[in-house]
Amino acid sequence: MIISRGWLRAAIALTALSCAVAPATAPASAAAALTGRSQSALRLALPEPPPAEVARGELSELNVEAPHTMSGYSRAKFPHWAKQYGECDTREVVLQRDGQNVAQDDKCRAVQGTWYSEYDGKTLTAAGQVDVDHMVPLAAGWRAGADQWDTAKRKAFANDLEHSQLIAVSAASNRSKGDQTPDLWKPPLRSYWCAYSRAWTDVKHVYGLNVTQAEKTALGEMLDTCTDH
- Write the pLDDT tens digit of every residue in 120-148: 999 999 999 999 999 999 999 999 999 99
The DSSP 8-state label assigned to residue 205 in this structure reads H
The radius of gyration of the chain from alpha carbons, rounded to an integer in Å, stands at 18
**Of 122, 107, 109, 98, which Cα lies nearest the Cα of 43?**
98
Please check the confidence at residue 76 and state whether its pLDDT lies above 80: yes
Are 55 and 3 in contact by the 8 Å Cβ rule? The answer is no
Residue 227's pLDDT is 87
Please check the confidence at residue 10 and state whether its pLDDT lies above 60: no
- Helices 52-61, 193-207: axis angle to 10 degrees equals 40
**CA-to-CA distance for 14 and 133, rounded, in angstroms?**
20
Q: How many residues does the chain have?
A: 229
Mean of pLDDT over the chain: 86
Indicate the range of 31-35, 101-105, 178-182, 210-214 predicted with least confidence. 31-35
Residue 85, helix vs strand vs coil: strand
Residue 42's pLDDT is 45
Please check the confidence at residue 176 and state whether its pLDDT lies above 90: yes
Strand (E) positions, 63-126? Answer: 83-85, 88-89, 99-104, 110-116, 123-124
Kindly state the average pLDDT of the residues 4-29: 36
The DSSP 8-state label assigned to residue 51 in this structure reads P
| Per-residue pLDDT band at 165 (split at 50, 70, 90) | very high
In terms of pTM, does the model score above 0.75? yes
